[in-house]
Structure 1
Amino acid sequence: MIEWYKKVVFENYANFKGRARRSEYWYFALANALISILLVVIGAVVGGIFGDALTGGIIGYVLFGLYTLATILPGLGVVVRRLHDVGKSGWFYLVAFIPFVGGIWILILFCTEGNRGPNQYGPDPKNEIEEINEIGKVELQ
């Protein structure tokens, strides 16, 4: 899980090109949720130490806000790459703003297996042989 998180946040910080496997997206989402919860809990613990729930709440939400700002671009990047994997444009994410059905539709797309083989957005991320061949082509040029 940590490897996928590091891949999204550090290696592909603002990368909106290519494709992302389901595991890359879901492990990032899980780690992101756990870290967010941890930051709010840290704020609550700090509030308990100082005996002031308001101070702890403010600290927790400031930490959470800073973390959210730091991870908003990698989060959008992995969403766009995940949509590319199922053959949709990154702009398709705006469907999520349709009340009721938009979020469900996006969730279904995030759970759907990506297109097999290369598509207009790049090679299949599950096909490691194809990735090795692409790396070899780049090195030879």
Structure 2
Amino acid sequence: MLLSTLAPAFFLSRGRITRSEWLTRIIIAALVCAAFGSLAGSWFGEIGAAVFAIVFLWSAVALSTQRLHDIGRRGWSLLTAIVPVFGPIWVLIHVLRRGVDHENRFGPDPATRSDYLKVNIGG
């Protein structure tokens, strides 16, 4: 049950997430992977630590793809990060941009709240 809710949130690149969700999830993934990577490194050596480095990399790419979806860009835009100096800066600028305020081809606006109480005071 827990894995079925965490997998789309951290490891699948579908949908859209807000800037705050992206930052929160990146930090959580980094902390968890660093802790378990350190533990696995002490038990299994470099191979154990490398497994959690790969898990973090996969998670960071999936989360950043979801974030790029929020501004209307495809995940393939992350490939620009391999261009020295300017690539990572370009990706960071786009990941930190405000998302579009409406539904786009990647899904509904994640910042829209539909659970607020609506009161009709007109009549």
The question of a shared fold, defined as TM-score above 0.5 by the shorter chain, is answered with yes
Higher helix share: 1
1:25-60 Cα shifts (integer Å, max 9, x gaps): 1112212222343245546xxxxxxxxxxxx76746
1:29 aligned partner: 26
Of the three residues 79, 82, 91, the one matched with 1:97 is: 82
Q: Which residue of 1 aligns with 2:96?
A: 111
CA–CA distance in structure 2, aligned partners of residues 15 and 57 of structure 1: 29
The letter for the 2-side match of 1:30 is I
> How far apart are the structure 1 equivalents of 2:5 and 2:82?
24
Post-superposition shift, 1:106?
0.7
Closer, same or farther: CA 100–72 of 1 in aligned 2, 3 Å:
closer
- The alpha carbon displacement at 1:89 in A equals 1.1
- Identity, % of aligned positions: 27
User: Counterpart of 2:69?
Assistant: 84
1:8/1:74 contact within 8 Å kept: no
CA distance in 2, matches of 1:100, 1:7: 37
Q: Verify: 1:66 aligned to 2:63, yes or no.
A: no
* CA-atom RMSD in angstroms: 2.9
Number of residue-to-residue matches in the alignment: 113
Q: Distance in 2 between matches of 1:58 and 1:70?
A: 17
Q: Which has the larger radius of gyration?
A: 1
* Most deviating of 73-82 and 20-29: 73-82
Letter in 2 for 1:64: A
CA distance in 1, matches of 2:67, 2:5: 12
2:15 to 18, 23, 26: 18
Residues 81 and 124 of structure 1: CA distance in aligned 2, closer, same or farther (over 3 Å):
same
Please say if residues 29 and 59 of structure 2, whose CA atoms lie closer than 8 Å, have aligned partners that are also in contact: no
CA distance in 1, matches of 2:113, 2:48: 38
TM (norm. structure 2) is: 0.71
